[in-house]
Amino acid sequence: MKKGYMQLPHNVHETMIFMGIVSIISVNIIAPLISMFETSFSWHNYLMTLSIIPFMWMAVIIIVLLAQKPATVLKKSIC
């Protein structure tokens, strides 16, 4: 198996970088695009989406933290 394949964050620093990347991609890019596709492309709709982003950001971080332990267990069972 290649080195680096299926490696999860091992310490707090790696976890923070991982959560930052996941939350930026999912909250700041995907969520506004989905809401704009559903309603329409306008600055008003984008600004309304920005008001919800802090709550979504917290939800993403909580889900990542909750999924980290089961993912580690599954990774150990595969390898």
- Above pLDDT 90, what percent of the chain? 0
* 8 A C-beta contact, residue 9 and residue 68: yes
Domain-located, residue 54: yes
Domain-located, residue 63: yes
Q: Which of 72, 74, 79 is nearest to 1 (CA)?
A: 79
Domain count, the chain: 1
23-76 confidence digits (pLDDT tens): 778 777 777 788 778 877 778 877 777 788 788 788 877 887 888 888 888 888
Cα separation, 13 vs 78, whole angstroms: 25
Q: Which of 25, 10, 32 is nearest to 61 (CA)?
A: 25
5-36 confidence digits (pLDDT tens): 556 667 778 878 887 887 778 777 777 788 77
Cα separation, 12 vs 17, whole angstroms: 9
Domain-located, residue 5: no
| Structural domain boundaries enclosing 63 | 13-77
* DSSP 8-state assignment for residue 3: T
What is the pLDDT at residue 28?
Answer: 74
Domain-located, residue 38: yes
What is the pLDDT at residue 5?
Answer: 58
What is the pLDDT at residue 2?
Answer: 58
